[in-house]
Chain A
Amino acid sequence: AQKITQTQPGMFVQEKEAVTLDCTYDTSDPSYGLFWYKQPSSGEMIFLIYQGSYDQQNATEGRYSLNFQKARKSANLVISASQLGDSAMYFCAMRERTSGSRLTFGEGTQLTVNP
Chain B
Amino acid sequence: DAMVIQNPRYQVTQFGKPVTLSCSQTLNHNVMYWYQQKSSQAPKLLFHYYDKDFNNEADTPDNFQSRRPNTSFCFLDIRSPGLGDAAMYLCATRIQAGVGETQYFGPGTRLLVL
Contact = CB atoms under 8 A, between A and B. Distances in A.
A35 B102 CA distance: 8
Nearest to B99: A33
Contacts of B40: 89, 108, 110
Given A52-B99, A108-B42, A43 B48 contact: no
B19 interface: no
B73 interface: no
A45 B100 contact: no
A101 B96 contact: yes
* Most chain B CB within a 10 A radius of its CB, from A35, A44, A50: A44
B45 A106 contact: no
A32 interface: yes
A31 interface: yes
B104 interface: yes
Interface in B79-105: 88, 90, 92, 94, 96, 98-100, 102-105
Contact of A106 (B42, B105, B107): B42
B31 interface: yes
Indicate the size class of the contact surface on chain A: 20 to 34
A40 to B, nearest CB: 10
Contact of A95 (B92, B99, B106): B99
Contacts, number: 61
A97 B99 CA distance: 6
A84 B98 CA distance: 35
A89 B92 CA distance: 18
Contacts of B88: 43
Contacts of A96: 99
Interface in B55-74: 55
Contacts of B98: 31, 33, 97
Given A33-B100, A91-B42, A106-B42, 11 more contacts: A33-B98, A33-B99, A42-B107, A44-B106, A45-B105, A50-B102, A97-B99, A101-B55, A101-B96, A107-B41, A107-B42
Interface of B: 31, 33, 40-43, 45, 48, 50, 55, 88, 90, 92, 94, 96, 98-100, 102-108, 110
